[in-house]
């Protein structure tokens, strides 16, 4: 297999891991104001993702670094064309981190409420903006022969792209609700189950509308037998299976199903684009592919050697952290003062 293909697949896997893992802690942050009844509940909610949220962001850093080194033209065009949305994502992640780290540093209601707002908005904006950005990519972008983006911010705010942002936000929020059913107890667990049940059908309706319109709005279905068939059907089946699993009180299966929906949905994007990475709406010949956007063979060989050594280390560390902090979080474990 060509090294360009290997690194395209690896970057896809890194984004899948990021959306799967960061998806549920975004969802938890979004739900915190609605599922919590008092400050103890909010502490319980935050403690469910406390050991994981910053480690989950490592996958985004790794994906960005891999893109920069393996496909520098892809990285340059993406970050120049989506400069403002990506800047807002970064700003939201910074604000969110400030909320997590400083919430307990001062014992006043005003301080805690401010930190809670940081966490909520810092969790809400990134999934929406990621949905908008990925939808724009699969719709095609005004990229010229010089590989430069020739559009503007308003051109990214198309109705279908905004629908993509809404779909990602709804799915991540549902994913977070199911995560809370696995990490909390008693009333908090029951409220998380209720939210998940109430969200499932509206989320499914948004995803269905997004998928149907995608047949006409995106480049994913142009001559690719794989995309119209296996992957989209598996994505739909995983989402439907999660609904029935939740009804049977199989919360672990339901959580795995929404996670699989996120993973397969991301795989549909990358499989549908291949071998393109950023299709041009001006002229198909101007599209960036894994070949005209890649680094030299020597660079890709060195990166492959490094990845073989360090990716298993990252996987082992993160698996160990989830094992260590596998217990549910209870109200009794939160100091009342």
* Least confident stretch, 215-224, 303-312, 318-327: 215-224
At residue 224, the pLDDT reads 47
Q: How confident is the model at residue 209 (pLDDT cuts 50, 70, 90)?
A: very high
- pLDDT-derived band at 15 (thresholds 50, 70, 90) equals very high
Describe the crossing of helices 109-139 and 39-49 by its angle, rounded to 10 degrees: 40
| pLDDT above 60: residue 66 | yes
Average pLDDT, the chain: 88
- Provide the b/e sequence for 301-326 (b: ≥16 CB within 10 Å): eebeeebeeeeeeeeeebeeeeeeee
Place of tokens 């910074």: 94
Per-residue model confidence (pLDDT) at position 228: 53
- Give per-residue pLDDT as tens, 166-175: 999 999 999 9
- Give Cβ neighbours of residue 172 (< 8 Å, ≥ 6 apart): 19, 23, 24, 26, 27, 30, 127, 262
pLDDT at residue 229 tops 80? no
Residue 320 DSSP SS3:
helix
Instruction: Of 77-86, 208-217, 218-227, 252-261, give the range with the top mean pLDDT.
Output: 252-261
Structure tokens at 204: 């499914």
* Average pLDDT of the segment spanning 272-298: 87
* Omega within 30 of 0 (cis) for the link into 184: no
pLDDT the model gives residue 222: 62
Give me the pLDDT at residue 337, please.
Answer: 62
Q: Say if CB 162 and CB 217 are below 8 A apart.
A: no
Task: Give the model's confidence band at 280: pLDDT under 50 very low, under 70 low, under 90 confident, else very high.
Answer: confident
Q: At what angle do helices 186-217 and 3-35 cross, to 10 degrees?
A: 130
More confident residue, 134 or 333: 134
Q: How far apart are CA 33 and CA 90, in angstroms?
A: 22
Condensed to tens digits (0 to 9), the pLDDT of residues 245-258 reads 988 889 999 999 99
Band (pLDDT 50/70/90 cuts) for residue 1 is low
Give the whole-angstrom CA distance, residue 68 versus residue 86.
Answer: 15
186 Rama sector, left if φ>0, alpha if ψ -120 to 50, beta otherwise: left
Across the range 63-82, mean pLDDT stands at 89
pLDDT at 225 over 50: no
pTM: 0.90
Q: pLDDT digits over 181-195, tens only?
A: 999 988 899 999 999
Helices assigned H by DSSP within 36-102: 39-49, 53-56, 58-70, 72-81, 83-102
Question: Among 12-16, 322-326, 333-337, where is mean pLDDT lowest?
Answer: 333-337
How many Å separate Cα 31 from the centre of its chain?
Answer: 16
User: Contact 99/122 with Cβ under 8 angstroms?
Assistant: yes
Query: What is the average pLDDT across 122-138?
Result: 93
Of residues 275 and 205, more confidently modeled: 205
């Amino acid at each position: 297999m060509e090294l360009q293909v290997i690194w395209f697949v690896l970057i896809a896997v890194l984004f899948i891991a990021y959306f799967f893992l960061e998806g549920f802690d975004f969802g938890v942050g979004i739900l915190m104001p609605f599922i919590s009844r008092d400050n103890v509940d909010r502490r319980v909610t935050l403690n469910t993702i406390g050991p994981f949220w910053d480690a989950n962001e490592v996958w985004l850093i790794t994906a960005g670094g891999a893109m920069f080194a393996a496909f520098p033209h892809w990285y340059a065009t993406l970050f120049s064309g989506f400069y403002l949305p990506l800047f807002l994502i970064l700003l939201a992640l910074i604000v969110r981190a400030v909320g997590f780290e400083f919430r307990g540093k001062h014992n006043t209601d005003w301080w805690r409420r401010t930190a809670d707002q940081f966490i909520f908005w810092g969790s809400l904006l990134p999934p929406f903006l990621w949905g908008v950005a990925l939808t724009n990519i699969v719709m095609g972008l005004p990229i010229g022969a010089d590989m430069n983006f020739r559009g503007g911010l308003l051109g990214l705010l198309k109705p279908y792209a905004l629908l993509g942002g809404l779909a990602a936000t709804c799915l991540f929020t549902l994913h977070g609700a199911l995560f809370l059913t696995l990490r909390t107890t008693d009333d908090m667990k029951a409220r998380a189950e209720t939210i998940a049940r109430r969200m499932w059908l509206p989320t499914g309706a948004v995803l269905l509308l997004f998928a149907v319109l995608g047949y006409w709005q995106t480049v994913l279905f142009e001559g690719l037998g794989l995309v119209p068939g296996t992957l989209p059907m598996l994505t739909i089946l995983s989402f439907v299976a999660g609904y029935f699993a939740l009804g049977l009180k199989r919360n672990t299966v339901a959580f795995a199903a929404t996670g699989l929906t996120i993973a397969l949905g991301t795989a549909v994007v990358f499989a549908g684009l291949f071998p393109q990475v950023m299709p041009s709406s001006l002229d198909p010949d101007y599209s960036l592919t894994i070949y005209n956007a890649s680094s030299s063979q020597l660079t890709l060989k060195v990166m492959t050697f490094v990845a073989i050594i360090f990716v298993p280390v990252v996987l082992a560390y993160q698996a160990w952290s989830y094992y260590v902090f596998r217990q549910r979080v209870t109200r009794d474990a939160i100091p009342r003062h």
